[in-house]
Amino acid sequence: MGHKKAYIRLMANVLKRDKQVTALSLLLEGNSVRSTERLTGIHRDTILRLMVRVAGACADFSNRTLRDLHCNRIEVDEIWAFVAKKSKNVQESDDWSRIGDQYTFVALDPETKLIPCYKVGKRTAYTTMQFVDDLASRLRNRTQISSDAFPAYYHAIATSFDRDVDYGTVIKQYAETPSGRGRYSPPRVIDIEKDDLIGHPDMSLVSTSLVERSNLSIRTHCRRLTRLSLGFSKKLENFKASMDLYFAFYNFVRLHRTIRCTPAMEAGVMKDALTVGDLVDMAA
């Protein structure tokens, strides 16, 4: 196993640094692996090895850096995707935990735009608890959390924060989609209800609008999340790596238009923005 890791590291390092930066930058701007292969001349297997290697270093850096955070509000939501095949096509002989529908749980600070944590997994109570546990471990102050009506959030938030939190939900009712027609965009929202479940949340600020808008940007920058395309992940490891790479890019590299700096800078975690080259150097 050690020889295999050394071989992968050697193969990734054969590429010059500027080639590595170019390949990763293309992936982070929404290009598929095969599109990046055509644009750069780098074999797709080499691109995938590079992505996985750098993503591992990015995940370690994010895990160490995004600690002791001061966040007044947090919005949480999930992004649907699938690995290898959609759940309706999963067979009994398939490994359900590794293929089919996969969700990326995302926590967003609407003030600084920082994403303090995320979690890839099935949309289950167990994954939700892991996600909320991670979120609670990163915050140093009492915060207000908003979510949709997914039932697993209530128990996870009450347990992980020991009810020392202000928590409210947003429940949206949608117009029915006409029968016999496919749907390529969300149906029209016809009613919104809010409910205060724990503590004393400011109901005027209970919302998931910003995290849902952020999810749209994530889909735009990650080809594996693009609907109705062939860019979906075929292996769970590669899907997780792409998320690790993107969220490091989002928090530490990409300048956010509304705050005119990176979310990590706005949150006081970093003084300066990183570059994609810095992400490559982390894995050197």
Asked whether residue 98 carries a pLDDT value surpassing 70, the answer given is yes
Q: Domain of 212?
A: 2-176+187-282
**pLDDT-based confidence at 176, cuts 50/70/90?**
confident
> pLDDT (tens digit, 9 = 90+) per residue, 114-166?
999 999 999 999 999 999 999 999 999 999 999 999 999 999 999 999 999 99
Is residue 77 a contact partner of residue 212, using CB atoms and an 8 Å limit? yes
Provide the pairing of β-strand 144-147 with 73-83.
parallel
Provide the pairing of β-strand 100-108 with 117-121.
antiparallel
Number of domains in the chain: 1
CATH number at residue 143: 3.30.420.10
Predicted model pTM: 0.89
Identify the CA nearest to 84 among candidates 230, 227, 224, 233: 233
Which tokens belong to 92? Answer: 């009994």
In a domain, 181, yes or no: no
Which tokens belong to 47? Answer: 């691109």
In a domain, 35, yes or no: yes
Residue written as tokens 């994403």?
A: 115
Identity of the highest mean pLDDT range in 36-40, 85-89, 219-223:
36-40
In a domain, 182, yes or no: no
At 172, is the secondary structure helix, strand, or coil? strand
Of the candidate ranges 10-14, 113-117, 152-156, 261-265, the one whose mean pLDDT is the lowest: 10-14
In a domain, 99, yes or no: yes
At 120, is the secondary structure helix, strand, or coil? strand
In a domain, 230, yes or no: yes
